[in-house]
Structure 1
Amino acid sequence: MAANSSKGDYHEPEYAKPQDKSKPPYYHTNIEHKIPAETHELLEKYSHIPREQHSEHVHKTRDQAWEIRSYPCIGLGSWLVPQLRRQPVYNEILQRVKAGGSVLDVGTFIGYDLRALAYDGAPSDQLYGLDIVNHFDVGYDFFRDRDSFKGRFIEADMLSPDAPELQPLRKSVDIVIVSQVLHQWNWVNQVRGAQALTTFTKPGSMIVGNQIGNVKAQEIASLGNNLPDVYRHDPESFTRLWDEVGKAVGMRFETQGRLRSFVEMGWDPNDAAWMDKGTRVLEFVVQRLE
């Protein structure tokens, strides 16, 4: 997911490029203590991996993923927490999928939320994962379900309107998951990204997820050089963003958002030590009304 050369128009942050583990403050050598009970259960009962092998399995997977992209969530181990399950609307999502609804996970990484849905009873052939770079094979190895998981993974840029792989999903997806994606960009590019998400929706569709936010909405400096600042939302600014998106695309949305602490997300609060003190996680549900 390398950034392109234009400062005002980029699809991936520069810091995502593979880098030495010793340099960034967000690579922790030992993340065994960050494996939650939910992940232990999934690895034991879904992937059939004995408990005593979990730590080695997790660290091997993390380092394989880091060699592809060096995102903070990879180095910190926060990807080990199933984020969709923490959404208040999770049961509604699960029931919609069981009834035949479809899910598209944008920025799916190794596809954890999709596996959690499958483990909880969702038919996996209704599940799609989209990412700009392929971590899918790492995911198959992590969950050991290459032959049993029937979902489809797509390597494509969501910002590309002409990507042929994405055309079958246009105007058809019931639930769009987008976590830890939009916060990579400034306001202008977040509007562009949100507009791209709307192309997968239809009236009644739901866009859910989370991203790094702040108690005070503001632009902050990007981690990468020669890149625009990134925008950190509070719930009010995020609603304004979707109001702007709705006007631009001729749709109407109802937006709900709340700020959660790292502890509430099941993450180590020390992992935010290198961030602004006002940093929180913005959890959101965007409902398309028309």
Structure 2
Amino acid sequence: MSSSTQSQDTNVAWFDEEPSESQIPPSARRLLETYSGVPPDKVVEHIVHLRNEAWRIFPYPCIGQFRFLEPGIDGLREYDEALNRLRDGQKLLDMACCFGQTIRQLVNDGAPSQNIYGCDLQKDFIELGYKLFKDRDKLRAEFVVADILDPTSSLRDLRGQMDMIYTGSFFHLWGLQKQKEVSRAVAALLRPEAGSMILGRQIASVEAFEKTSATGTMYRHNVESFKQLWEEIGKDLGVVFVVDARLEKLNDDHFMGDDTKRIYFSVRRA
């Protein structure tokens, strides 16, 4: 996506000039220092420089507030399982991978990078990921630039091939009906075997509701509505999905209301 006046406007609630200490989790700092080789006294400068480049592409709140640095997949109960399965040769797709921070976390924790795929709508984010993590010459993960809703995109080559799919801050980008369409498209990428699973986290709410704003319509789930969504998708596809989900509070520096939570989930083929 090209730059726009809107994307360069930093006078919004979800843009912080510099990250606070709480916005740079120890795991993110460790990743940049040990995996990427960024000197400890240059970490903040490096992060801000790359974040500002990304902001000019598109002003996602997760970029404005440095939330791409937060622990993501490693906050899931299934993280160790995912690592072990990758070490055993299984494949994982990071959907809407942004900078590919999840991919680098997995690799730094021992997953073979050749077993990991990343997909994003924005090629610029993938390129910025190489700059952020300084690993263009060593990372063997395969990246795909594609729209999940485009049946002719290069994602078609991955249909039925993925053992695991990570969806961080992804499904919540749409209203409920569009989420169903997107979720079915993601499920089609899973290997049609028991144990194939979708993992993720996203913005949620104590009470599920649909929100319409200038940027579009978004549906925020609670645990019950999320389970119902996948029950309906399973019936549509003739598949039984077992859902494990939990709500957790956001960090104290978020700009949303008290009812806003984060949902962590796994959706596993029975």
Same fold (TM over 0.5): yes
How much does 1:167 deviate? 2.3
Match runs of 1:243-282 below 5 Å: 243-263=231-251, 269-272=252-255, 275-282=256-263
In the alignment, which residue of structure 2 is the partner of 1:71? 60
Aligned residues: 265
TM-score, with length taken from structure 1: 0.88
Q: 2:177 aligns with which of 188, 193, 213?
A: 188
Amino acid at match of 1:221: T
Q: 1:30 aligns with which of 18, 23, 35?
A: 18
Match runs of 1:106-255 below 5 Å: 106-134=95-123, 135-163=125-153, 165-202=154-191, 203=193, 204-224=195-215, 227=216, 229-255=217-243
How much does 1:220 deviate? 2.0
How much does 1:181 deviate? 1.0
- Provide, for residues 228-270 of structure 1, a one-character-per-residue CA deviation record: whole Å limited to 9, x for no partner: x32111101000000111111222101111101113xxxxx22
How much does 1:17 deviate? 6.0
TM-score, with length taken from structure 2: 0.94
**Alpha-carbon distance in 1 for matches of 2:5, 2:147:** 15
- Partner SS state of residue 146, structure 1: coil
Q: 2:51 aligns with which of 44, 56, 62?
A: 62
Q: 1:45 aligns with which of 13, 27, 34?
A: 34
- Partner SS state of residue 212, structure 1: strand
How much does 1:221 deviate? 2.6
In the alignment, which residue of structure 2 is the partner of 1:284? 265
- Matched-pair contact (CA < 8 Å) for 2:25–2:71: no
How much does 1:75 deviate? 0.1
How much does 1:82 deviate? 2.5
- Matched-pair contact (CA < 8 Å) for 2:97–2:118: yes
- Partner SS state of residue 62, structure 1: helix
Inter-CA distance 16–213: structure 2 relative to 1 (3 Å threshold): farther
Amino acid at match of 2:233: V
- Provide, for residues 161-195 of structure 1, a one-character-per-residue CA deviation record: whole Å limited to 9, x for no partner: 121x1122110101100011111111100101100
- Provide, for residues 21-52 of structure 1, a one-character-per-residue CA deviation record: whole Å limited to 9, x for no partner: 12x21001111421111111111111111101
Inter-CA distance 160–16: structure 2 relative to 1 (3 Å threshold): farther
**Alpha-carbon distance in 2 for matches of 1:257, 1:16:** 38
How much does 1:277 deviate? 2.5
- List runs of 5+ in structure 2 lacking aligned partners: none
**Alpha-carbon distance in 2 for matches of 1:35, 1:279:** 21
